[in-house]
Structure 1
Amino acid sequence: MYFAALLARTEDGWEASDTELDDVETLSDLADLARESSGDEDDTVLVFIEQEESWFGIVRVDGEDDPRIYVSDAAAAARSSYGEILLTDELLGRDPGDDDLDSLDLDGTEDGDDEDSADDAESAGVSADAVPHGPVGDAGILDDLGISEKELRTLSDDALGVIAEALGAAEVLETVR
C-alpha cells in the first residue's frame, strides 16, 4: 500500500493535502501537481511518497526550479510504478534512453506484494546493477529545513512522520494520512 501527500510551506505555516498519483506519469507531471497545490508560486512544496515498510521518496519543488529528489531505496522503488516516476535517468546516473526500468514488468508490487519481484526483474532483463540498492538522489534536500543528510539516510520506520515532526508539520500531515 502506498501513501502520497503534498506538504506546502506557506506564510501561515505548513499545509498538507493527500494526493492520488494515478494520473501522474512523469516527474514533470508530479512537479506541476506540486506547483498547482501551492497558493504562491514561490512556496516550497514537498511531495511525500511512501510504500509501506519498503521505501519512501521526497520531491522538493521550489518555485520554477527543477525538482530535487531523494529516494530511500532505489531498488525497492523500481518495483513500484510510483517509484518509477522518481527514478529518472539523471538520478540514476544513466544516459537517457537506457530502458532497464521500462522493461520491468510491474505486477502490482506498488500494493506491497513483492515476493517474486527480484525474479521478475531478472526475467525482464534488468540486471542487478541497473538500479542501486539503497538511497539515491539529493540527501541534502531538507538541510535548510533542519534535517541533515545523515539524519535523512538513517530514517526507516515512519520516515515521513519523523520528517514532518522535524518540520513542525506532524499534525497537518496526520490529517491527510
Structure 2
Amino acid sequence: MSYFAAAVVRGEDGWSTAEVDLGGAADLDEVADRLRDVDPDAGVSLLFVESDDAYLAILRLDEGDDLRVFGSDSAFAEESRLGSLLVGDLKAPALDIDDVVEPKVRAAAGDDEDESADEPAADPDADPVGEADILADLGIPTQRLLTLCAHEGNLPADVTAEICRVLGCGDEVEELREA
C-alpha cells in the first residue's frame, strides 16, 4: 500500500512542511513522535496521511500534546497495517455523513439539472471516524471537512490540497508531493 505523509506545522514564523516517513512505525504513539520531531516547539502540528488514492487520515498535536485523529473512512483500518495503526482504534463515527451531505444533495435535486450536475455525488459508503472537528479552529468546520471527504471523485490529495490552501501552505505541500 503506497502512502504520502506530509507534516504541516505552525511555529513562530508561520506554517512549514515536511514529508514524514512512517515506515516501521510500531504504534500511534511512534507516529505522533515522528510528527513532534518535525518541529518540537510548534504550536500546531498536523499530519496528513493519504493512502492509495482512497483514504485520508489527519493527526493533530497542539503544543506537542493531546493527539487527535480523524479518518475519512473506517475501511482504511481493514485495508492495511498503516490504516489499522492510524484509525483502527477509532470506534465511534465522527458524525453521520448523511446528516452533513444528504440535505445538500436533496436540495440540489430540486434545482436546475445543469447546476446540480456540477456537484459531485456523495459517496454512500463513506464512514468517517474520529474527531471531525479537528480543524474547526483553523478554518475548516466539521461539515466542510466531512463534505470534502464524502464527495465521490475527491481524492485524499484533493482534500489535503484544499485544507492546506485554507491554511496558507498549499504550495508548500504540493512541492513536497512533487519532490
Alignment TM-score > 0.5, same fold: yes
Give the partner amino acid of 1:29. E
Moved more, 76-85 or 161-170: 76-85
**Which of 140, 146, 150 is the matching residue for 2:133?**
140
- Equivalent residue for 1:154? 147
User: Partners in 2 of 1:148 and 1:4 — Cα distance?
Assistant: 22
Q: Name the TM-score, length of structure 2 as normaliser.
A: 0.71
User: Partners in 2 of 1:146 and 1:136 — Cα distance?
Assistant: 20
Percent identity, please. Answer: 38
Q: Name the TM-score, length of structure 1 as normaliser.
A: 0.72
Give the partner amino acid of 1:143. A
Secondary structure in 1 matching 2:53 = coil
Could you give the per-residue CA deviations for residues 129-169 of structure 1, whole angstroms, max 9, x where no partner exists? xxx95100000000000000000001142111111111111
Structure number having the greater helix percentage: 2
1:80 deviation in Å? 1.7
1:23 deviation in Å? 2.3
Give the partner amino acid of 1:137. G
- Equivalent residue for 1:46? 46
Give the partner amino acid of 2:82. Y
Secondary structure in 2 matching 1:53 = coil
User: Partners in 1 of 2:165 and 2:52 — Cα distance?
Assistant: 18
- Equivalent residue for 2:119? none
- 2:16 aligned with 1:15, yes or no? yes
| Unmatched 5+ stretches in structure 2 | 93-124
Q: Which runs of 4+ in 1 moved over 4 A?
A: none
User: Partners in 2 of 1:56 and 1:72 — Cα distance?
Assistant: 5
User: Partners in 2 of 1:154 and 1:133 — Cα distance?
Assistant: 10
Secondary structure in 2 matching 1:92 = coil
- Equivalent residue for 2:170? 170
The Cα RMSD (Å) is 1.7
Secondary structure in 1 matching 2:26 = coil
Could you give the per-residue CA deviations for residues 97-145 of structure 1, whole angstroms, max 9, x where no partner exists? xxxxxxxxxxxxxxxxxxxxxxxxxxxxxxxxxxx95100000000000
